């Protein structure tokens, strides 16, 4: 299962360094970023499905399906004859990867003692972080060494190995619906509405992040679709289904809804910081790209240390509320000092701000997962865990797409105001 978590983390970033190269091979360079978007879209859509599927079919069968989908997606990407087949393969891989991460957390929560959940969860977070960190450089190395097709193919047998080991070693437990008079059904209308909502949000964020794709009419249309589908999803979950994907009453239980909202803001803050740091070093401080990339290595280091140390602290004491409060305060302070001092002329030791911010954010995520595990009603672990990861994915997506777009627009408007140059010419000059 740890190998699966590593694969899911690595595959998420593996194509960051190769997506433009892959798209250019197909003669479709403008569509290269969709190789990344499709994966995240599949991941986001897959997460809520696994929560209900786990309740209906048990986590062993559902995890085996996730491993199979991941392997099929990697194979499909490797054999792709055009860019759209590759994009489809990436979407299928994302759906599989969602289960490979989400279901492991569900299994840990159900099978491990409460005090050990934080430690095991921190290990899982460290493994995923290491995979995500190594994915981008490993993707470039493998693309030069064996080609991007074989780098995608190579993940399939590892996924098959994970499938075989899980089928052999993972215990078969009764489905959660077997003790009831009837098994819960999949909420197909709710699932379709949620897919439309998530897919529209992903496409809207993508168009905001790509100036050449901007279209006022398209963005307004997507916003209308998002509002209508989200409203219909909420009405369906509350009034028209007996087995909702996300019971609305759960959001009001023990502050669980606030935990989900917190995940969106926390991951948005973290990945807004990460995605803009390289450009800030290169353009504002006149550092080389290699130097900026080297400095970015502190981010995974801080995340791994934060998850490990906080997991140990919670495992020993069993307490997490004071740690969560302290982490939030220290993280906000470092982000504030960073925004205040970095645009000026900071001293060398002030480079520690992002390290401390990511360290405390990682610890905060660990404490919040422990709090979520302790607050979740019996029988709702899979549903709350999938919603937890979906909230994180949504915040991550917003951080990656919205903040660069906002930064470009602010810079463009300010330069236009100062220099009197057209927006289009400015975009060409700074793009």
Provide the residue-wise pLDDT of the chain in tens; the chain has 431 residues.
Answer: 677 777 877 777 777 667 777 888 888 876 777 887 788 888 888 887 887 777 777 788 889 999 999 999 999 999 998 999 999 999 999 999 988 887 887 777 777 776 676 677 667 767 776 776 666 667 767 777 888 888 888 889 998 998 998 888 877 655 544 444 445 566 788 888 988 888 888 778 767 655 555 567 888 889 999 999 999 999 998 888 887 877 888 888 888 889 899 889 888 887 787 767 766 776 777 776 556 666 777 777 888 888 888 888 887 777 788 888 899 899 899 888 888 887 777 777 877 888 898 899 888 888 888 788 778 887 777 778 778 888 888 887 777 777 776 776 777 777 777 776 555 554 554 44
> Which distant-in-sequence residues (6+ apart) come within 8 Å of 47 by Cβ?
98, 102, 386, 387, 389, 390, 393
pLDDT at 180: 46
Closest by Cα among 298, 286, 269, 293 to 399? 269
Closest by Cα among 238, 240, 223 to 189? 240
pLDDT at 73: 94
**What is the DSSP code (8-state) at residue 283?**
I
Q: In Å, how far are 70, 129, 162, 180, 208 from 156, measured between CA atoms?
A: 7, 21, 10, 38, 33
Closest by Cα among 258, 93, 61, 273 to 170? 61
Q: In Å, how far are 94, 277, 365 from 270, measured between CA atoms?
A: 21, 11, 11
**Segments in 236-318 forming alpha helices (H):** 248-251, 256-279, 289-296, 298-317
> Which distant-in-sequence residues (6+ apart) come within 8 Å of 337 by Cβ?
350, 353
Length of the chain: 431
Number of H helices and number of E strands within the chain?
18, 0
Per the listing, tokens 């990344």 go with: 36
d(CA 344, CA 353): 14
d(CA 61, CA 99): 11
d(CA 395, CA 368): 15
Per the listing, tokens 């990656």 go with: 400
d(CA 308, CA 47): 25
20 — alpha (psi -120 to 50), left (phi > 0) or beta? alpha
CA angle 398, 400, 404 (to 5 degrees): 100
Token pair in block for residue 221: 């249309």
Number of other residues whose CB lies within 10 A of the CB of residue 319: 12
Cα Rg for the chain, rounded, in angstroms? Answer: 22
Three-state secondary structure readout of 149-167: HHHHHCHHHHHHHHHHHHH
Burial class (CB in 10 A: 0-12, 13-18, 19+), 172: exposed
């Amino acid at each position: 299962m740890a190998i699966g978590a590593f694969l899911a983390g690595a595959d998420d970033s593996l194509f960051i360094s190769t997506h433009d190269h892959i798209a250019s091979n197909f003669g479709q360079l403008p569509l290269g970023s969709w190789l990344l978007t499709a994966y995240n879209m599949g991941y986001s859509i897959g997460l809520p499905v696994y929560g209900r599927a786990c309740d209906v079919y048990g986590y062993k069968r559902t995890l085996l399906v996730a491993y199979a989908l991941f392997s099929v997606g990697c194979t499909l990407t490797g054999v792709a004859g055009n860019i759209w087949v590759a994009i489809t393969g990436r979407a299928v891989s994302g759906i599989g990867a969602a289960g490979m991460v989400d279901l492991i957390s569900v299994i840990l929560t159900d099978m491990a003692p409460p005090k050990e959940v934080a430690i095991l969860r921190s290990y899982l977070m460290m493994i995923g972080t290491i995979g995500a960190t190594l994915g981008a450089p490993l993707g470039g190395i493998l693309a030069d060494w064996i080609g991007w097709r074989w780098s995608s193919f190579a993940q399939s047998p590892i996924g098959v190995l994970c499938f075989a080991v899980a089928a052999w070693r993972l215990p078969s437990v009764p489905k959660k619906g077997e003790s009831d008079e009837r098994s819960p059904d999949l909420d197909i209308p709710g699932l379709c509405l949620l897919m439309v909502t998530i897919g529209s949000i992903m496409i809207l964020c993508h168009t905001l992040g790509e100036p050449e794709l901007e279209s006022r009419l398209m963005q307004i249309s997507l916003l209308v679709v998002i509002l209508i589908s989200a409203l219909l999803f909420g009405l369906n979950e509350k009034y028209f289904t007996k087995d909702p994907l996300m019971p609305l009453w759960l959001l009001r239980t023990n502050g669980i809804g606030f935990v989900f909202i917190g995940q969106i803001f926390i991951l948005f803050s973290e990945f807004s910081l990460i995605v803009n740091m390289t450009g800030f070093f290169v353009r504002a401080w006149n550092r080389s790209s290699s130097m900026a990339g080297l400095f970015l290595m502190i981010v995974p280091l801080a995340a791994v240390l934060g998850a490990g140390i906080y997991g140990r602290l919670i495992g020993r004491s069993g307490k997490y509320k004071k740690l969560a409060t302290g982490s939030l305060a220290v993280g906000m302070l470092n982000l504030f000092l960073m925004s205040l001092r970095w645009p000026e002329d900071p001293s060398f030791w002030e480079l520690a701000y992002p390290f401390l911010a990511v360290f405390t954010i990682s610890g905060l995520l660990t404490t919040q997962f422990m709090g979520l595990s302790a607050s979740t009603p019996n029988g709702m672990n899979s549903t709350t865990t999938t919603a937890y990861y979906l909230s994180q994915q949504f915040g991550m997506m917003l951080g990656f797409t919205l903040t660069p777009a906002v930064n470009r627009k602010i810079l463009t408007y300010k330069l236009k105001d100062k220099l009197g140059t057209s927006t289009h010419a400015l975009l060409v000059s700074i793009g």
